[in-house]
Amino acid sequence: MAVLYRCIIAVTIVLALGYAFVPYFQPRWLTEDQLNLLGWDTYGAIIQSPVWFYWAYYSLWLVILFGLFFYVRISRPLYLLFVVIGIVLSGFYGIRVYGPIDLIVGNILLTAEGAVLVIVYFTSISEKFRDAKI
């Protein structure tokens, strides 16, 4: 189980690192019309997050993922908190428009989030976090 768990975390980190930079590369493979459509993302949003908030949230999420990989005790509840915050905030971000790569990678990441939560709370991996010194 530990090998599977760590593989999921590693794949999540790699995909998350790539996913963050998709908007910078999309203009190379999308048409002008598709890019204009993506410009409507977050239309009608109640919350408009500044760019620094996005990068801070993203950076902390990556730090938490590394903590999960190394069984750092505090990373488990922080990960759960970040998932819950992400779910709650998504209701305030308005209409979302995704490109094909966004959608594929995003769905894989969401599935991995669910798998990680199940593994860290409901399998033998949870004992590694309870026994962790840090």
Q: CA–CA separation, 65 vs 72, rounded Å?
A: 10
Q: What is the pLDDT of residues 95-115, one digit of tens each?
A: 888 888 888 999 999 999 999
Name the domain count of the chain. Answer: 1
Q: CA–CA separation, 95 vs 113, rounded Å?
A: 22
| Average of per-residue pLDDT across 16-21 | 87
What pTM, to 2 d.p., does this model score? 0.85
For tokens 């760019």, name the residue.
51
Q: CA–CA separation, 104 vs 98, rounded Å?
A: 10
Q: CA–CA separation, 23 vs 99, rounded Å?
A: 9
Q: What is the pLDDT of residues 57-103, one digit of tens each?
A: 899 999 999 999 999 999 999 999 999 998 998 888 888 888 888 88
Q: CA–CA separation, 35 vs 99, rounded Å?
A: 9
Q: What's the domain range around 58?
A: 2-130
| Average of per-residue pLDDT across 8-13 | 96
Position 31 scores a pLDDT of 87
